[in-house]
Amino acid sequence: MFTNQDNEPVGFDSTVTSEISESSSTAQTDLINQDSKSTQKTIHRNVMSQTTDEIKSTVPSFDYDKLAAFLKRVTPGILEALDEVTDSDVLDEYDPVASRETIAQVRLLTKFSTLDESITQKKISAASWSTNGGILAVAYSALKHETWCDHLSEIKLYEFKRNDEFQKNSTRQFEVASCVTCLSYHPTEPSIMAAGLYNGDVVLWNLADEDSITPIQICTHGDTVTSLLWKTRTINDPDLLITSAADGYILIHKLTANFTMSSLCKRYKIIKEHNPAENTRPQSSGGRRERAAEAGLSITCIDFTMKNPSIFIAGTLCGGVYKCSLDAATPIQGDDTLIDPVVDEYERFEGSVTSIKCSPLSNIFVSTGTNMEIRIFDIDKENVQRVITVEHTIVGLQWFTPNQNVISAYGADSAVRFYDTKNGLIIPQLKIQSNNKYISCLDFNTKRNIAALGDTQGILELFTMSKTLSET
């Protein structure tokens, strides 16, 4: 079937060549150029104008005399307004760093004698800043009176210059027929100033009239004027001037016709029967001990409450402290027009009452007396709420304007000290240390944060008080 057979190998040459031809080529494109341009639309407006014939200006005629009279009338008010703007203290002591530590600072601004060297035995009895804070009125009194006062006295006005420098020479002076016991600028009218005198006179000046130095006579008490207060006008009532005196009388006058006219509208008298020592007096034939012709209790100070404008507190020489009302209706025997204003009595002082100040914020008043105590009362409670014992007799109290919970006290000492009426404690970081022995008067400048101190030798001191003290 099948058989195996072997054959010899046969060879042949390859027809494929060993060399391979190769070639390469490259291609390049042209660079691409780019360009951009912006366009903006143009807005066109057409405006037409029309010319008119020239109007020739003519100089109006006017009356120089009327112009001079007008300027003389309005200039004082304009200058006062400019002074108030110049004295603005909005940015004083501005500190943008809220976390900076508050430091109380009291610095002496100036000190000088307001009296000639030849004048002795005279003190600065009262001082009052004008409502715009640019003028300080200073009044004088003899150190003591053995009998009735027949001294001639004066009131001097001192001013700040435009550069806030306080002038040591007075700009105006007013002579009065007796020593001055009370002095007060009107709280809103910067040109109105009133004074009470030792001889009982109450006088008033309109400082806008620079040619007139003669005051308007308001009234005459039967004894030394001890308090002088303003009640500013309302819609229905004119300005009122309220005065008290050592004769026990309280007189209220209405001021009208731009403070050129005054009229007595009410009379009050604190009768002597309110003093327990007077209970042994024989009764009059009418059954009442009080007689209209005689003096009442010697009033040393009065002040009105803020809660009720008709309520005021009166202090007396015999130590009595009385709650009084303008609406009281109890006439005094012998004169139906004379009213006893007392409606209640507070805890008495052992000694005389020297000063009373009602709080501008709360229903309290602060009083002090010759027994070297400062007492804090609630107006609606007869008993004292707090007692602060001091080392010297206090003759005057003033509310500290930046913080009206704080009361300042001064008197037979060389320092003004400050007390917190909320807790009755002294504020150690608040203190005005005077170089004088006895301080006789004090008034705060609310516009400039300056305290003016007068002493028993006629020396005037001004202290600047940092606004940060209000945070104390």
What confidence tens digit (pLDDT) does each residue in 119-168 have?
888 999 999 999 999 999 999 999 999 888 989 999 999 999 888 899 99
Q: According to the model, what pLDDT value does residue 101 have?
A: 38
The closest of 276, 272, 315 to 297, measured between CA atoms, is: 272
Report pTM. Answer: 0.75
383-420 as b/e, with b when 16 or more CB fall inside 10 Å? ebebebebeebbbbbbbbbbbebbbbbbbbbbebbbbb
Residue 219's beta-bridge partner residues? 202
Residue 464: how many other CB atoms lie within 10 Å: 15
Give the CA diameter of the chain: 191
Report CA torsion sign: 302, 304, 310, 311: negative
Q: According to the model, what pLDDT value does residue 419 have?
A: 96
Q: According to the model, what pLDDT value does residue 98 have?
A: 36
The closest of 33, 21, 136 to 452, measured between CA atoms, is: 136
HEC assignment per residue over the chain: CCCCCCCCCCCCCCCCCCCCCCCCCCCCCCCCCCCCCCCCCCCCCCCCCCCCCCCCCCCCCCCHHHHHHHHHHHHHHHHHHHHHHHCCCCCCCCCCCCCCCCCCCEEEEEEEECCCCCCCCEEEEEEEECCCCCEEEEEEEECCCCCCCCCCEEEEEEEECCCCCECCCCCEEEEECCCEEEEEECCCCCCEEEEEECCCEEEEEECCCCCCCCCEEEEECCCCEEEEEEECCCCCCCEEEEEEECCCEEEEEEEECCCCEEEEEEEEECCHHHCHHHCCCCCCCCCCCCCCCCCCCCEEEEEECCCCCCEEEEEECCCCEEEEECCCCEEECCEEEEEECEEEECCCCCCCEEEEEECCCCCEEEEEECCCEEEEEECCCCCEEEEEECCCCEEEEEECCCCCCEEEEEECCCEEEEEECCCCEEEEEEEEECCCCCEEEEEEECCCCEEEEEECCCEEEEEEECHHHHHC
HEC assignment per residue over 291-340: CCCCCCCCEEEEEECCCCCCEEEEEECCCCEEEEECCCCEEECCEEEEEE
Q: Which residue in the block uniquely carries the two structure tokens 């110049």?
A: 86
- The C-alpha atoms of residue 378 and residue 380 are separated, in whole angstroms, by 5
Lateral strand order in the sheet of 364-369: 353-358, 364-369, 373-378, 384-389
- The C-alpha atoms of residue 254 and residue 259 are separated, in whole angstroms, by 9
Cα–Cα distances in Å, from 184 out to 193, 203, 298, 299, 416?
6, 11, 21, 18, 21
Q: According to the model, what pLDDT value does residue 109 have?
A: 94
- The C-alpha atoms of residue 193 and residue 180 are separated, in whole angstroms, by 13
Structure tokens at 156: 């001097």
Average confidence (pLDDT) per 10 residues, the chain, 472 residues: 69 58 58 59 62 59 78 79 61 42 72 90 96 96 90 95 89 95 95 96 92 89 97 84 97 92 95 81 51 83 94 97 94 89 96 96 96 97 96 95 91 94 92 90 94 95 76 51
Q: According to the model, what pLDDT value does residue 97 have?
A: 38
